[in-house]
């Protein structure tokens, strides 16, 4: 639904626990280099961090976690690295899916299936068929994902409907557009975390992060822990979210609830 970003004009003090956290898991390569290991070992260690972070989200009461595992631009990386990420992803799903599903984690793939190896598509199909009945945490894995192409894809669907006379151009609203993104019916991310110190958005959730709070850390993704996530959430709780509005009069110090 993308409700947080669309149509909200007033200030909102005292943010509590973010409903939706989006993470760019950067720094796997640098971590591997620091350890004197091949880059793929950095990705392997990075994949291991996801479970702890998902569990911390459940403990905190975060409802949606979106992680950026492979962008469309990542196909430009050396063939051996791409193939290692594909294999690791398959392995991640095979090894972690059952356990996390039984803990109430509902998996969603964000991105295009077209272009992915058949073996990865088979794993994604299997997850869809056997997904959790509960939704304690919705874990979106952006894989073969690009924010711009997600927007173009939605525009094409709406243009097609308009072309067939099913929709008038003036009926295209932000709300309707949001419903044609991979994140349809999900709230926009409240908190965007990027590891490894880069100050870039990297074509990630471009529509959805219009008013998302950004938190960047120098920590490399393979060193990221549940405790670091709690630090990020604490920092978020001291923000004042305005969504383009003015600060509430006489209220300059938002008081977020404590996460302990
Ligand atoms: C960014 O670090 C990381 C990636 C592009 C790949 C992330 C993939 C995984 C962790 C494996 C798959 C995981 C799941 C959960 C499906 P980088 O390589 O750009 O690091 P660098 O900037 O230090 O070189």
Residue 54: give its domain's CATH number: 3.40.1180.10
Distances (CA, A) of 38 to 92, 126, 153, 225, 249: 19, 31, 36, 22, 54
Instruction: Please indicate, yes or no, if residue 160 is contained in any of the structural domains.
Output: no
Alpha-carbon span 81 to 75, nearest angstrom = 9
Residues in the chain with pLDDT < 70? 1-15, 250-260
Number of domain units in the chain: 1
Instruction: Please indicate, yes or no, if residue 154 is contained in any of the structural domains.
Output: no
Domain holding 36, by residue range, is 12-146+188-241
pLDDT, residue 8, reads 37
Instruction: Please indicate, yes or no, if residue 28 is contained in any of the structural domains.
Output: yes
pLDDT, residue 12, reads 58
pLDDT, residue 246, reads 87
Give the three-state DSSP class for 214: strand
Q: How crowded is residue 22: how many other Cβ atoms within 10 Å of its Cβ? A: 26
Q: Which atom of ligand 1 is nearest to the CA of 67?
A: 15
Annotated active-site residue 203? The verdict is no
Looking at residue 241, the DSSP 8-state letter turns out to be B
pLDDT, residue 44, reads 95
pLDDT, residue 227, reads 98
| Two tokens, residue 242 | 């305005």
Q: Is the CB of 32 under 6 A from ligand 1?
A: no
Query: Using CA positions, which residue lies closest to atom 7 of ligand 1?
Result: 69
Instruction: Please indicate, yes or no, if residue 258 is contained in any of the structural domains.
Output: no
Identify whether the C-beta of residue 72 lies closer than 8 Å to the C-beta of residue 146: yes
Among 23, 28, 54, 89, name the best residue to mutate to test ligand 1's pocket (greatest count of ligand atoms within 8 A of Cβ).
Answer: 28
Q: Is 218 exposed, middle or buried (0-12, 13-18, 19+ CB in 10 A)?
A: exposed
Q: Is the CB of 47 under 6 A from ligand 1?
A: yes
Instruction: Please indicate, yes or no, if residue 181 is contained in any of the structural domains.
Output: no
pLDDT, residue 249, reads 74
Q: Is the CB of 74 under 6 A from ligand 1?
A: yes
For residue 24, how far is its CA from the centre of ligand 1 (angstroms)? 9
Instruction: Please indicate, yes or no, if residue 90 is contained in any of the structural domains.
Output: yes
For residue 66, how far is its CA from the centre of ligand 1 (angstroms)? 14
Q: What is the pTM of this model?
A: 0.91
For residue 44, how far is its CA from the centre of ligand 1 (angstroms)? 9
Annotated active-site residue 223? The verdict is no
Q: Which atom of ligand 1 is nearest to the CA of 39?
A: 18
Q: Is the CB of 84 under 6 A from ligand 1?
A: no
Instruction: Please indicate, yes or no, if residue 60 is contained in any of the structural domains.
Output: yes
Instruction: Please indicate, yes or no, if residue 173 is contained in any of the structural domains.
Output: no
For residue 27, how far is its CA from the centre of ligand 1 (angstroms)? 7
pLDDT, residue 259, reads 57
Query: Using CA positions, which residue lies closest to atom 22 of ligand 1?
Result: 27
Query: Using CA positions, which residue lies closest to atom 15 of ligand 1?
Result: 47
């Amino acid at each position: 639904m993308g409700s947080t970003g669309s149509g909200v004009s007033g200030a909102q003090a005292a943010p509590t626990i973010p409903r939706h956290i989006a993470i760019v898991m950067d720094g796997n390569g640098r971590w591997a280099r620091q350890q004197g290991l091949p880059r793929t070992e950095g990705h392997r260690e990075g994949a291991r961090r996801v479970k702890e972070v998902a569990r911390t989200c459940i403990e905190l009461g975060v409802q949606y976690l979106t992680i950026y595992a492979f962008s469309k631009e990542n196909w430009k990386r050396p063939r051996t690295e791409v193939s290692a990420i594909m294999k690791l992803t398959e392995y991640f799903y095979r090894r972690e899916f059952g356990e996390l599903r039984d803990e109430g984690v509902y998996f969603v793939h964000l991105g295009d299936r077209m272009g992915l190896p058949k073996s990865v598509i088979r794993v994604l199909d299997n997850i869809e068929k056997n997904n959790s009945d509960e939704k304690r945490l919705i874990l979106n894995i952006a894989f073969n994902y690009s924010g711009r192409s997600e927007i173009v894809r939605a525009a094409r669907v709406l243009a097609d409907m308009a072309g067939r006379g099913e929709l008038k151009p003036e009926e295209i609203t932000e709300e309707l557009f949001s419903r044609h993104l991979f994140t349809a019916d999900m709230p926009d991310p409240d908190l965007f975390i990027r590891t490894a110190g880069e100050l870039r958005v990297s074509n990630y959730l471009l529509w959805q992060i219009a008013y998302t709070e950004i938190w960047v850390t120098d920590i490399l993704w393979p060193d990221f822990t549940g405790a670091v996530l709690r630090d990020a959430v604490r920092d978020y709780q001291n923000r004042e979210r305005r969504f383009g509005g003015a600060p509430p009069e006489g209220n300059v110090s938002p008081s977020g609830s404590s996460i302990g």
